[in-house]
Amino acid sequence: MSEFTETLSFGSKSIHYHLSFQDRKTLGIRVYPDSTVRVIAPLDTSVEKLRAKLREKAPWIIKQQLDFLSYYPLTPPRKYVSGETHLYLGRQYKLKIVDSNQNEVTLYRGRLVVKKKSNTSIKTILNEWYRERATIQFAESLKKVLPLFKKYGLEKPELQIRNMPTRWGSCTTKGKVILNPELIKAHKGSIEYVIIHELCHLVYHNHTRAFYNLQERIMPDCKKWKERLENTLN
């Protein structure tokens, strides 16, 4: 089956989608957890008709994509100077920069202390530290929530940390869970929420009612942590 990759502009948004044709009567549109959009059209569909139909469905497609844990960083760009606040596990810390003969980051009395050698960028040191903390914390959070899925027979998934410009988390059909390192700035409850959301996708690969029911069964206060996540970091 041949497949085309197309783009539809809708307001300020662009929707990329994979299009294929099949012997069928109606247009099928599916949005996947990684934001991929697949459109299957009846063989005799004209381009005009297809585009009109997609335009009509665009708000729904965008909503589906947003429901997949979107991440829109709106925090102002950081300057990496002493006194500036930076987040870690849902709390604000004031940055304190100290010249040193080694690079090191520590949390001390509500401050995020960055010791740095001359000629090293604070941003680089800090981002490396965030990533290290993310690796440790995400593994710990996964270990904590995984037993909640015992009766669904989930194997411990592989965790990957990857910068994603628009997503908090995602998962692959092969069962790998991918998390945005920025998530380390969120409260532990929100980190668990994102992991639980992705683990639920290993049971249901979509956003159906069954998916949301499972998510709420596993984490009854998931709405609270979702909102916290959106309010703290956006």
- Residues within the interface to Zn ion (CB under 5 A): 33, 68
- Alpha helix locations (H) across the chain? 47-67, 122-145, 188-203, 209-218, 222-233
Contact 199, 151 (CB under 8 A): no
Contact 207, 214 (CB under 8 A): no
β-bridge pairing 85-88 and 177-179: unpaired
Nearest CB to Zn ion, comparing residues 133 and 176: 176
Shortest approach of Zn ion to residue 202 CB, angstroms? 11
104, 133, 173, 153 alpha-carbon torsion, rounded to 10°: 150
Nearest CB to Zn ion, comparing residues 185 and 207: 207
**Strand partners for 116:** 99
**Strand partners for 98:** 115
Q: Which helix (H) or strand (E) holds 16?
A: strand 13-22
Shortest approach of Zn ion to residue 201 CB, angstroms? 5
Shortest approach of Zn ion to residue 63 CB, angstroms? 12
Shortest approach of Zn ion to residue 86 CB, angstroms? 28
Nearest CB to Zn ion, comparing residues 97 and 196: 196
Shortest approach of Zn ion to residue 87 CB, angstroms? 23
> Which residue number is nearest to Zn ion in terms of Cβ?
68
**Strand partners for 119:** none
Shortest approach of Zn ion to residue 170 CB, angstroms? 8
Tokens of 61: 């497609």
Rounded to whole angstroms, how far apart are CA atoms 33 and 233? 21
Nearest CB to Zn ion, comparing residues 68 and 138: 68
Q: How far is CA 137 from the centre of its chain?
A: 16
Nearest CB to Zn ion, comparing residues 126 and 214: 214
Nearest CB to Zn ion, comparing residues 92 and 234: 234
Helices (H) and strands (E) in the chain, counts: 5, 11
